[in-house]
Amino acid sequence: MTTASIQPQSAIGQIAEPCLADWRDFVALTKPRVLTLVVFTGLCGLLSAPTSIHPVLAFTAILCIALGAGAAATLNQWYEADIDALMKRTANRPLPAGRMDRQTALHFGVGLGVFSVLLMGLAVNILSAVILAVSILFYVVVYTVWLKRRTPQNIVIGGAAGAFPALIGWAAVTGRIDLLPVLLFALVFLWTPPHFFALALFMKSDYAAAGVPMMPVVAGRRATRAQVLLYSLPMAAVAIAPWPMGLAGVIYGGITTVLSLIFIGMAAQVAASRQDDQAAMKPERRLFAFSILYLFIVFGALVADRMILA
């Protein structure tokens, strides 16, 4: 039995002719799975602040962070439709699959970004709106347009874009930037290289096919594995730092110390691995999965610590 469909299909490497996009395709453009981590870190930044704001304004701040991140993801996909079409992992996204035309994605991304910044500025405060605008521009202009196709340091520098939400959440409540949110920014910034290098190690052939100069493609797997471990060490130091500095208590300090040691152990396993078969790269896949859990638990522990010990 065969069923004909009007849905355009694209082979890998080929962008199909677009038709009228479904609303689900607009949602897919915002990378909802990435948004969960962005919203969570933003919420933790907001909840760990020493003061509080009206719940409606707190909700609005988190909504603006989500919309801003969605706008950045949309503009990233608008710009990268050609290389997304070359990679198995991304070939079925709305633009390379031909379910939406590029101009619609551009209008949606710009509209969403402008709306999120304006709403943040009008409803919450100017500082959080400015940081939100900087984070969107950083992700789109610095990471996507400037760095991604040019240097293997793309995600090392571009990682700053994903580090802003905690800072925005804190600024939304306090109207200023303090040491703790700066440490949270540094934590996410230093967490990004081991997280994405682990992914790039077992996705190397995809990135190589698309011509993206990720670290394993340019420097090789051995050098990348060493860098996974090298970045894990300052990341762990920054993660634990709020405890001895008196910015967080024993709950945060204990949980973060244990998890950071596990992270370093897993990074050391990656560094010691000599596996070249992508399907058999278990330490890399384990570290990638654990790194997501790590960030969720560390940020969650900070909020729990500040709420319980306060």
Partner 1 sequence: MTTPLRDPDADIRRRQRSRAKVMALILGALVILFYAISIAKMS
- Quick one: tokens of 25? 């395709």
Least spacing, CB of residue 56 vs partner 1, in Å: 4
Instruction: Identify which of residues 4 and 310 has a Cβ nearer to partner 1 in the complex.
Output: 4
Cα dihedral 49→55→58→59 (10° resolution): 140
Least spacing, CB of residue 119 vs partner 1, in Å: 9
Q: How far apart are CA 50 and CA 48, in angstroms?
A: 6
302: nearest Cα among 262, 242, 260, 258: 242
CB within 8 A of 9, min separation 6: which ones? Answer: 16, 97, 98
- Report if residue 123 touches partner 1, rule: CB under 8 A: yes
Q: ∠ CA(57), CA(24), CA(104), 5° rounding?
A: 90
- Report if residue 60 touches partner 1, rule: CB under 8 A: yes
Least spacing, CB of residue 307 vs partner 1, in Å: 22
Rg (CA), the chain: 20
Q: Which stretch binds partner 1 (CB under 8 A): 48-56, 71-79, 227-235, 294-302?
A: 48-56
76: nearest Cα among 88, 93, 58, 98: 93
Least spacing, CB of residue 38 vs partner 1, in Å: 20
Instruction: State the chain's maximal CA–CA distance in angstroms.
Output: 67
CB within 8 A of 31, min separation 6: which ones? Answer: 70, 73, 77
Q: How far apart are CA 227 and CA 130, in angstroms?
A: 33
Instruction: Identify which of residues 60 and 232 has a Cβ nearer to partner 1 in the complex.
Output: 60
- Quick one: tokens of 238? 């920054």
Q: Which stretch binds partner 1 (CB under 8 A): 52-60, 184-192, 210-218, 289-297?
A: 52-60
- Report if residue 114 touches partner 1, rule: CB under 8 A: no
| From 11, 23, 244, 310, residue interacting with partner 1 (rule: CB under 8 A) | 23
- Quick one: tokens of 165? 């939400």
- Report if residue 250 touches partner 1, rule: CB under 8 A: no
- Report if residue 21 touches partner 1, rule: CB under 8 A: yes
Decide: 135 and 68 in contact? Cβ < 8 Å: yes
Instruction: Identify which of residues 132 and 229 has a Cβ nearer to partner 1 in the complex.
Output: 132
Least spacing, CB of residue 1 vs partner 1, in Å: 5
Q: Which stretch binds partner 1 (CB under 8 A): 14-22, 128-136, 197-205, 245-253?
A: 14-22
Q: Which stretch binds partner 1 (CB under 8 A): 54-62, 90-98, 176-184, 202-210?
A: 54-62
Instruction: Identify which of residues 2 and 277 has a Cβ nearer to partner 1 in the complex.
Output: 2
CB within 8 A of 142, min separation 6: which ones? Answer: 157, 158, 161
* Cβ neighbour number for residue 218 with a 10 Å cutoff: 15
Least spacing, CB of residue 45 vs partner 1, in Å: 20
Instruction: Identify which of residues 30 and 260 has a Cβ nearer to partner 1 in the complex.
Output: 30
| From 33, 51, 56, 246, residue interacting with partner 1 (rule: CB under 8 A) | 56
| From 17, 33, 54, 310, residue interacting with partner 1 (rule: CB under 8 A) | 54
Residues that bind partner 1 (CB under 8 A): 1-6, 19-23, 54-57, 60, 63, 123
